[in-house]
Structure 1
Amino acid sequence: MKKEKSIQLIQDLSNARGISSFEDEVTALFKDEVKDAGTVTEDHMRNVFVNQPFNSGDRPVVELDAHSDEVGFMIRAIKPNGQMMFVNVGGWAMVTVPAQKVKVRNHDGEWLSGIVSSTPPHFMTAEERTRLPKPDELSIDVGASSAQEVRDVYGIEIGAPVVPDVTCEYNEKSGLFLGKAFDNRIGTALLAATMNDIATEQLDVDVVAGLSSQEEVGDRGAEVVVRKIKPDLAIVFEGAPADDTVMPDYLIQSGLRKGPMLRDFDSTIVTNPHFQRFALDVAAENNIPVQRSVRTGGGQDGAIINRYNGAPTIVISVPVRYAHTPYCFIALEDYQNALELAKLIIKKLNANVLSNF
């Protein structure tokens, strides 16, 4: 994929709005991007499937996975004064939530601007000024002064999805993107680009892409996708939290501009060591920089896929600084190296290779 097209795709996916179960904008973009890459279908859970054109049905099946949803919020209740209580959808640290500008979707599908509000410092007690606000002390304000105004004028209801209001930027000089939702819109971009780039390849395996929904609330889409694809092997594309601003040098395992990260372990998966070694060897043979990680927490769709019939699974991640906040950095070169590595791995796969994993 050409650089200019990659940049536009990443920006468009970052800007798309889609918390768990509300991924419609993302799936629409993805389906349009891969419409010439194979047979494309979508289920009622907002999972999207792409079958490579030369799949024969009698070869090992390789699943390529990414998830489409982002962390956000949902309206829980509307107070008499027009302030709206909300719940977190996905993992948020409270320190990053107050004072965000957000978009709230009303019942007509319009996205309305609002802010995450809290008690102004002028009205805080001395104790309140020294601690983070509690979730119930925060609200979302769209400028309304009554619950009736929220419902009748703004058209917002309980259950409305909410996302950070951020427009993705690309800096040509640094090669960095600054935007929201790179967990996991960068994985979504990798999934689309990989399927497009192998669309005309005569491979020795059948390749099926599964863009899964609702990962941020428990890998729910992946549970459905893996049962439909029934893979013999899987590659998961992720946007992994970068650690190069919070860890000492000897513990950095997902730094920007250091290449994609291949995880050996997290709280949900022990990566198949044979497939992992194969991927690392492919990277070394082709001078592709990679990073390895052993995480003490975290999780992703690969654990669900691996537990289904034991399919060997690796995770190729683009490092994301400040993941699960409204503003994140990623490096274009990490994305490009991840894409190249994935394609080289896929082209080397066959039944004999898989038997050694």
Structure 2
Amino acid sequence: MVKFNEVDLNLLKNLSEADGIGGREREVSRVVTSFGEKYSDEIEYDNLGSTILKSYGDKKGPIIMLSSHMDEVGFMVRSITDDGYIKLLPVGGWWGHVMPAQEMTITTEDNKKIIGVVGSRAPHGLPDSIKNKVIAPKDLFLDIGVPSRKYAEHLGIQIGDMITPNVKFRQMNDPNYLMGKAFDDRLSVGAALEVMRNLSMESHYADVYHAATVQEEVGIRGARTAVHTIKPDIAIAMDVTTATDTPIDDEGMKLGGGVILSVLDSLTMANNGLLQTMEDIVSDLNLDVRYDFMTVGGTDACNIHKMLEGVLTMTISMPTRYMHSPRLMVHRRDYEQTIKLITEFCRRADWSTVDKLKKSAGIK
């Protein structure tokens, strides 16, 4: 039995190892739904596929939306060559540098899993002009170890099938460090689900909806439709941000340093009152806090705050090494502190909170 503010890493493992690119999030949704059947009051789905878990207060309070996206960056089958190689179509942002020789999984329409390896050239005798050139993701191909297109098609592979990294979740040598695929943004999906579990054990005035959204990596699409379904008064987008604590980085955002409050990204500015409220809770709970200014990229908040009559919104982030690569690394402490912060905000929120946030935006 998981207690209040404890976490279950098996949940995070199941989320990480599920395969789900934009528009193909069904496996992830099944994990979310299975959890929600135990720890939420109601489950709803919108027509794009976002999965919405509801934890009711007294149904007279404000509606809080927690948003985290289920989709991961990956590929689709673009074509199959006569020799049975799979040409790849990137779905989401990839840097070709991280892909050669990586093991990948094709998921067929009937959910068959077919393993292959991203093809690469041996370095022997290559001129520097080729060695030093980063491969464009669209030029990558997958070798599934078959002799022909006919053989590949016999396995059930079709144009448009999903391709994802074949990576297992693991705790590292210090078990607080966690490695796996798709932590962008399954780490936040897991955190939001843990918040919902906490709220199932404690009373709260507000109605809290967790929107596990779709298609964020291909245009922040699912958040738009989820807002129309939920009609929130307050929204917290939950996502990851880039850790900068490796030898090739300027020292900055470290794993294990605690909560990250996003002041702004390229398309969103946090509601100032919401930011201040989170700072107060951080202080009350004796959590550690950092601030993020993400001048490139964005989160579900980019669309949420512009919907309806405008939604009082901010992003809370967790640092991640090696974003948009087959393997990411995160820290348990950041995960746990984020869960504690958002749980406490949801427990405290009432209509006076909404009034405070509106006043901070200049609304009388």
TM-score bucket of the superposed structures, by smaller chain:
over 0.9
> TM-score, normalised to structure 1's length?
0.94
8 Å Cα contact 2:167/2:181 also seen in 1:
yes
Secondary structure of the 1:237 match is strand
**Structure-2 separation of matches of 1:4 and 1:110:** 35
Aligned to 1:291: 290
CA deviation string 1:263-306 (max 9, x = no partner): 10111111111110110111012111111011221200011111
1:86/1:140 contact within 8 Å kept: yes
**Distance in 1 separating the partners of 2:258 and 2:119:** 38
Residue in 2 that maps onto 1:206: 207
Q: Structure 1: which amino acid aligns with 2:149?
A: A
The residue matched to 1:191 in structure 2 has which SS? helix
- Aligned equivalent of 2:86: 84
Paired position in structure 2 for 1:300? 299
CA distance in 2, matches of 1:263, 1:54: 27
Q: Which amino acid aligns with 1:94?
A: G
Q: What secondary structure does 1:198 align onto?
A: helix
1:208-262 Cα deviation digits (max 9, x unpaired): 111111111011111110111111101122122212225434xx2x320101211
Alignment of 1:152-171 (within 5 A): 152=154, 154-171=155-172
Give the deviation of 1:42 after TM superposition.
2.3
Shift of 1:43: 3.3
- Structure 1 residues 43, 185: closer, same or farther in 2, change over 3 A? same
Query: Paired residue for 2:275?
Result: 276
Q: Which moved more, 1:40-49 or 1:270-279?
A: 40-49
State how far apart, in whole Å, the 2-side matches of 1:136 and 1:69 are: 20
Is the CA contact 2:88–2:139 (under 8 Å) kept in the aligned structure 1?
no
Partners of 2:162 and 2:336 lie apart in 1 by: 32
1:74 is matched with which residue: 73, 76, 93? 76
AA in 2 matched with 1:227: H
Q: Give the secondary structure class of the aligned counterpart of 1:299.
A: coil
Distance 1:341 1:7, change over 3 A: same
User: 2:141 and 2:68 mapped to 1: Cα distance?
Assistant: 32
Q: Report the CA distance shift for 1:263/1:156 in structure 2 as closer, same or farther (over 3 A).
A: same
- Give the direction of change, closer, same or farther, for the CA distance of 1:207–1:165 in structure 2 (3 Å limit): same
Q: Residues 122 and 146 of structure 1: is their aligned pair in 2 closer, same or farther, counting only changes over 3 Å?
A: farther
Cα drift, residue 73 of structure 1: 0.6
Say what the alpha-carbon RMSD is for the aligned residues: 1.8
Equivalent-residue separation in structure 1 for 2:242 and 2:76 (angstroms): 23
Equivalent residues, number = 352
Query: Partners in 1 of 2:66 and 2:159 — Cα distance?
Result: 35
For the structure 1 residues 182 and 258, does the alpha-carbon distance in structure 2 shift closer, same or farther, using more than 3 Å as the test? same
Partner of 1:177: 178
Is 1:327 the equivalent of 2:330?
no
Conserved 8 A contact 1:53-1:200: no
User: Structure 2: which amino acid aligns with 1:339?
Assistant: I
> Cα deviation per residue 1:188-211 (whole Å; 9 max; x = unaligned)?
101111111102433222211111
Q: For the residues of structure 2 that align with 1:208 and 1:134, how far apart are their CA atoms?
A: 40
Q: Which secondary structure state, in structure 1, belongs to the residue aligned with residue 187 of structure 2?
A: helix
| C-alpha distance in 2 between matches for 1:59 and 1:4 | 27
Distance 2:201 2:350 in 1: 17
| Contact 1:60-1:350 at 8 Å conserved across structures | yes
1:323-343 C-alpha deviation (Å, 9 max, x unpaired): 111111111111110000001
Q: Output the CA distance in 2 between the equivalents of 1:179 and 1:18.
A: 14
Letter in 1 for 2:184: D
The runs of 5 or more residues in structure 1 that have no matched partner are: none
Over the matched positions of the two proteins, sequence identity in percent amounts to 29
Q: Distance in 2 between matches of 1:124 and 1:248?
A: 32
